[in-house]
Structure 1
């Protein structure tokens, strides 16, 4: 779990107090593609644990994308060497993660290079390829899903992947498909996504559309029983294969991180109030929504 400390969360995509179902894409400086922080060792070890326990649940790939996977790994190794020197070592075909001491022979991952790539960074990595119904998820190293199953999404186009997202088909489906078609390899982009959850675990495969009341969460303890989950997502086209790599870097902070930021508490309160009911249900907010809003009311009242 990533804790931002008392200064408040590192990212606050709700800071304008508005809720909008939008792509929200901004240009990404290539040097900022991969994000590494003090939680790197703990999160990479958690990936190792998940891969050892049930690899199929967190890594899978369709046949025929081996070359694109290798392209991702080479791109990632070059980026780390240039912009994050010291995070990994490379010698005689073996990659070593310095913080964990884990070493990997590249030859062992010749046909599943995305698996190795995912073990080197805190980001989850999803590989998309154009198909008859739009871009399809063809491979993923997905150790930190936010309430979705890789097995259900692999091989599916974007529209079907997001079919349960309230409003996606009507508002985002076609714009996303058009954007994917025109994304250039020299113009990577990023966006931020956010949710409020009652579980700080990075690996979550279920829990959407919950409505049962959470009586244990109250206004008094909401700061310690609820978490702000932020996803920093990037998109870049691979120059050789033409496939698109989608990365997800997850940050989880206790709601109490807003105690020193009443301005952000007020903005989050406003954004939640604007969120359509269908999206509230999709994000499973109803079980604790009253306690959440009352807690944020209390923090926001301290704003100047």
Structure 2
């Protein structure tokens, strides 16, 4: 599931060395909307397994969301046809997926076009519709949740979805809604979210808020037991329906990717030490925060001398 330890992590959102609850959004080219990495086939196989075996947990849409689902599917097909035709090919009413050689009939997904879109890209796809209460989740293909359940969030506005996140509604809800409302057709934005986890599984519907210490995790085994989970989040407005596509690309690396990079280890240590305890608890990092800090301190002191 992970890149070789010798390769630098592709993203390091902790690199500033201080935790801040901010949007951290930047505009990127539309061509960079969908991110493809070396785990594409593996992730797509896991998505297919989940969508086939646990469909009700990882896909749902409100009545009335079909126009936005259709528009999102067309956007995904247009993007993959233009930028990754080696992975997804549209052949009339069929879509060929190169990773498994399958041919998917578009007609089989008329009642759930977003389901088909989710089977073509590594990103989870969430559709957010403007409303008087703010942007509301109206449909999602969510195979790799970071400890939240689609059934608990569908139909709810941003403020309710993020109510469990410490400080979100006080500090970020209004800026997020202003940002969402200002995204125009043809614009694409990205931000990164991160945490350290003790389970590399991609599908995690539960587990937020763990605080009890785990004595089995020690400074000596942190490099084997812990992982960095990063979400590459993207935001794109659909021109026809006005619905916002919130894409979530999940990347899981072993914590060992920073073991021989003292600068990154020091930055993560600084971010961890400035992270409020309630946020550590929300992210379920509290059970191992002490051994993690010790391990990062040691890694930060490592240099490249023989």
Map of 1:176 onto structure 2 = 176
Question: Does structure 2 retain, via aligned residues, the 8 Å contact 1:197–1:229?
Answer: yes
Alpha-carbon distance between aligned partners in 2 of 1:279 and 1:103, rounded to the nearest angstrom: 44
Alpha-carbon distance between aligned partners in 2 of 1:199 and 1:5, rounded to the nearest angstrom: 18
Question: Does structure 1 retain, via aligned residues, the 8 Å contact 2:260–2:303?
Answer: no
Question: Does structure 1 retain, via aligned residues, the 8 Å contact 2:3–2:253?
Answer: yes
State the Cα distance separating 1:7 from its structure 2 match: 2.3
Q: TM-score, normalised by structure 2?
A: 0.97
Map of 1:188 onto structure 2 = 188
Map of 2:29 onto structure 1 = 29
Q: Secondary structure at the match of 1:235?
A: strand
> Following superposition, which runs of at least 4 residues in structure 1 exceed 6 angstroms of deviation?
none
Question: Does structure 2 retain, via aligned residues, the 8 Å contact 1:36–1:122?
Answer: yes
1:278 aligns with 2:278: yes
Question: Does structure 2 retain, via aligned residues, the 8 Å contact 1:7–1:260?
Answer: no
Question: Does structure 2 retain, via aligned residues, the 8 Å contact 1:4–1:10?
Answer: no
Q: Secondary structure at the match of 1:127?
A: strand
State the Cα distance separating 1:3 from its structure 2 match: 2.6
State the Cα distance separating 1:85 from its structure 2 match: 2.1
State the Cα distance separating 1:2 from its structure 2 match: 3.4
User: Which residues of 2 match residues 75-86 of structure 1 at below 5 A?
Assistant: 75-86=75-86
1:104 aligns with 2:76: no
Question: Does structure 1 retain, via aligned residues, the 8 Å contact 2:77–2:90?
Answer: no
Map of 2:156 onto structure 1 = 156
- 1:7-32 per-residue CA deviation (whole Å, 9 max, x = no partner) reads 23110011110111011100011111
State the Cα distance separating 1:37 from its structure 2 match: 1.4
Map of 2:38 onto structure 1 = 38
State the Cα distance separating 1:111 from its structure 2 match: 2.4
Gaps of 5+ in 1: none
Aligned residues: 304
Q: Secondary structure at the match of 1:34?
A: coil
State the Cα distance separating 1:4 from its structure 2 match: 4.9
Question: Does structure 1 retain, via aligned residues, the 8 Å contact 2:27–2:187?
Answer: yes
Alpha-carbon distance between aligned partners in 2 of 1:53 and 1:107, rounded to the nearest angstrom: 21
Q: Secondary structure at the match of 2:240?
A: coil
Map of 1:234 onto structure 2 = 234
Alpha-carbon distance between aligned partners in 1 of 2:106 and 2:203, rounded to the nearest angstrom: 26
Question: Does structure 2 retain, via aligned residues, the 8 Å contact 1:126–1:139?
Answer: yes
Alpha-carbon distance between aligned partners in 1 of 2:110 and 2:151, rounded to the nearest angstrom: 22
- 1:130-172 per-residue CA deviation (whole Å, 9 max, x = no partner) reads 1221110000000000000000000000000000000001100
State the Cα distance separating 1:303 from its structure 2 match: 4.3
Q: Secondary structure at the match of 2:90?
A: strand
1:295 aligns with 2:295: yes
Question: Does structure 1 retain, via aligned residues, the 8 Å contact 2:213–2:287?
Answer: yes
Alpha-carbon distance between aligned partners in 2 of 1:253 and 1:4, rounded to the nearest angstrom: 9
CA distance 1:138–1:4, change in 2 (3 Å):
farther
Question: Does structure 2 retain, via aligned residues, the 8 Å contact 1:88–1:96?
Answer: yes
Map of 1:206 onto structure 2 = 206
Q: Secondary structure at the match of 2:259?
A: helix
Alpha-carbon distance between aligned partners in 2 of 1:171 and 1:4, rounded to the nearest angstrom: 38
Question: Does structure 1 retain, via aligned residues, the 8 Å contact 2:81–2:90?
Answer: no
Q: TM-score, normalised by structure 1?
A: 0.98
Alpha-carbon distance between aligned partners in 2 of 1:260 and 1:83, rounded to the nearest angstrom: 35
